[in-house]
A and B are shown apart, each in its own frame.
Chain A
Amino acid sequence: DTAVSQTPKYLVTQMGNDKSIKCEQNLGHDTMYWYKQDSKKFLKIMFSYNNKELIINETVPNRFSPKSPDKAHLNLHINSLELGDSAVYFCASSQGGLSPGYTFGSGTRLTVV
């Protein structure tokens, strides 16, 4: 069983479209994240949810809206896609307890044309 799974793996779409990326984790973690990796491989956090509650929103445009229906799912909806949104988006989750751990999904490569 995949610990953190994202769908789709690849997404090619035209400018102006609306698209969603889904993420699910089966690790029982309380916190989930979305990261964006740009063309220079730089990884930047976008959002974080803890038990369905938004705790981090890193000055991401309002066109990006995360939704967490339960603590095992964190979806990312993007409105009015722009060329600059092309990137790889990673979902991750983290565990509680004494030893920190972050588990990443395999990524969704979004290409806006």
Chain B
Amino acid sequence: AQSVTQLGSHVSVSEGALVLLRCNYSSSVPPYLFWYVQYPNQGLQLLLKYTSAATLVKGINGFEAEFKKSETSFHLTKPSAHMSDAAEYFCAVSDYGGATNKLIFGTGTLLAVQP
């Protein structure tokens, strides 16, 4: 079975500071990993995805994530936070191409950006 764990349900940073949102995964097959962002009262927007190509993945809005198999991690980072980054962030894992293709989400991390 696959799962993801997001460490820290709430993260607060100052504007201009580094953003680091943590995600660890568990998977018995090579995983596909995703980060989604959800702004208040909106749907889910894909930030980036790992599909077994490059381990450092660049996404939209200046975000990037690094796949580390030895640590079973896929942490999301951004060098400098903007006020507009305040949102809920979800890490997700998929067995894409496997039996179910389903996307399994972590519990989310709410990012607050202080002026």
Q: Which residue numbers of A lie inside 8 Å of B, CB to CB?
A: 31, 33, 40-45, 48, 50, 55-56, 90, 92, 94, 98-107
CB distance from B40 to the nearest CB of A (A): 11
A55: which of B43, B100, B107 is its contact (CB, 8 Å)?
B100
Assess the A100–B104 pair: CB atoms within 8 A.
no
How long is the Cα–Cα vector from A50 to B36 in the complex, in angstroms? Answer: 23
Which residues does chain A contribute within 8 Å of B100, judged by CB atoms? 48, 55-56
Stretch at the interface among B17-25, B69-77, B90-98: B90-98
Contact B108 A42 (CB under 8 A): yes
- Asked if B34 CB lies within 8 Å of chain A CBs, one says yes
Tell me which residues across on chain B come within 8 A of A106, comparing CB atoms. Answer: 42-43
Residues 72-115 of B, flagged 1 when their CB comes within 8 A of A and 0 if not, give 00000000000000001010001011001111110110100000
Other A-B pairs beyond A100-B96, A100-B101, 5, CB < 8 Å: A41-B88, A45-B102, A99-B51, A100-B97, A102-B46
Taking a contact as CB atoms under 8 Å apart, the answer to whether A94 and B101 are in contact is yes
